[in-house]
Structure 1
């Protein structure tokens, strides 16, 4: 409801008479801000305290793995809030750790461009299939029922569980369409991988060439698998460099299904398999495509910088 004010009423009375905060715009009246730039007490930090916060953050005290705002504040003689502001201004995040693994593959760059090329310029009359297996998917049953999410409280889940077994999810992700070809198995051997390749062969158009992106797991290179591939010439295998499964876009799908299963409670392996099957059906009903956007040169430059940084720290 609009508020009508007399023309000679000063802006300062808006807050008193209406209860609106100073920055609220009422019936076309510009937002009112009583504070002028430069007003108020200026924050001040001793230069030595600032230097100590920035220098010592990379050198945790004995018995500590990292600094906290409170522990650093005690040493620097300033407030925890000041430490937090200094770290934020300098993009310092002591509480975070990012995992990595640089590939030692002697043919890294060759394999890198082989895989990335399929994303950036997919071949005609062919399917690009990102293939892998998600092993050790556990059927975990929570020991007690949890409370659902509600207003004022978060969802709860018991910290302990009963293990009922595991399954392996074999998946081929069609890079261009986002469709999935999957198989759920109780074991993870070359026999199951070979059966999955045969399933791919059955469920894809026979006139199309198949370019499979896979990692270097031993089952992918088993002699019986190689013998079968020799007889099925439309299969073209593209191996990622060692320690470089991040190049395989199916890993992005595995992240999604991991999030989906994480909150579940499964009383049997069969119940877990049913939940996975339901998720796969929903995804194929509305396929989600994962698009590679990163530039190859940028990735290689980043890897080179990482190698140089590691060498300098050695």
Structure 2
């Protein structure tokens, strides 16, 4: 499980065919008049399925809400292991108490080793297929595109294009 964002409504640069004389320019985006959103995403390693929800903030309440959604997706008798980075809302006492009560084990990656979390390599394809070369007019339109991508990705998870993009993960 990890967060992706902040996602803002702005034009994202991309590749394409442009006229030789005057290429379209990206408008300046110094302000975020629409605000930002954050994508909470999880990868089920058993089925190789992605799950995602968007939120306006990344506080412990938002994270806990996403954990509750994940818990409902799996049988209560199964112990659920969630691999996380060391972002402070993941360590909140309410999150830890809820996890213990609901048969959820929170497993933290070492500091500066977020690349150990398997979901990281899925953000590259999301960036390429949803954001690159786009200019969404609203957060609803952006989130609809992300959800459509996730549905498509879950159906085509063994597609060579997706696997190639996943292999391009950049380690900082």
Query: Which category describes the TM-score, using the shorter chain as reference length?
Result: 0.7 to 0.9
Give 1:285 shift: 2.2
Aligned structure 1 segments of 4 or more residues deviating by more than 4 angstroms:
none
TM-score normalized by structure 2?
Answer: 0.78
- 1-side partners of 2:15 and 2:108: how far apart? 45
Aligned position for 1:202? 72
Give 1:165 shift: 2.7
Are residue 132 (structure 1) and residue 2 (structure 2) matched? yes
Is 2:52–2:147's contact at 8 Å kept on the other side of the alignment?
Answer: no
Is 1:179–1:284's contact at 8 Å kept on the other side of the alignment?
Answer: yes
RMSD over aligned Cα atoms? 2.5
Question: Paired residue for 2:62, among 167, 184, 192?
Answer: 192
Give 1:239 shift: 0.7
- 2-side partners of 1:205 and 1:214: how far apart? 21
Aligned position for 1:149? 17
Aligned position for 2:167? none
Cα distance change, pair 192–243 in 1 and its aligned pair in 2 (3 A): same
Q: How many residues align?
A: 153
Gap regions ≥5 residues in structure 1: 1-130, 291-314
Q: Give the 3-state SS of the residue equivalent to 1:136 in structure 2.
A: strand
- 1-side partners of 2:146 and 2:93: how far apart? 31
Is 2:11–2:26's contact at 8 Å kept on the other side of the alignment?
Answer: no
> Rg bigger for which structure?
1
Are residue 283 (structure 1) and residue 153 (structure 2) matched? yes
Is 2:38–2:57's contact at 8 Å kept on the other side of the alignment?
Answer: yes
Question: Paired residue for 1:268, among 138, 141, 146?
Answer: 138
Q: Give the 3-state SS of the residue equivalent to 2:9 in structure 1.
A: strand
Q: Give the 3-state SS of the residue equivalent to 2:136 in structure 1.
A: coil
Aligned position for 2:126? 257
Aligned position for 2:49? 179
Give 1:174 shift: 1.3
- 2-side partners of 1:231 and 1:245: how far apart? 26
Aligned position for 2:99? 229
TM-score normalized by structure 1?
Answer: 0.45
Aligned position for 1:214? 84
Q: Give the 3-state SS of the residue equivalent to 1:187 in structure 2.
A: coil
- 1-side partners of 2:96 and 2:75: how far apart? 22
Tell me the alpha carbon deviations over residues 218-250 of structure 1, each in whole angstroms, 9 at most, x when there is no partner.
Answer: 0101011111112112x1121110011011111
Is 1:214–1:237's contact at 8 Å kept on the other side of the alignment?
Answer: yes
Give 1:272 shift: 1.1
1:29-44 aligned within 5 A? none
Is 1:165–1:268's contact at 8 Å kept on the other side of the alignment?
Answer: no
Cα distance change, pair 148–135 in 1 and its aligned pair in 2 (3 A): closer
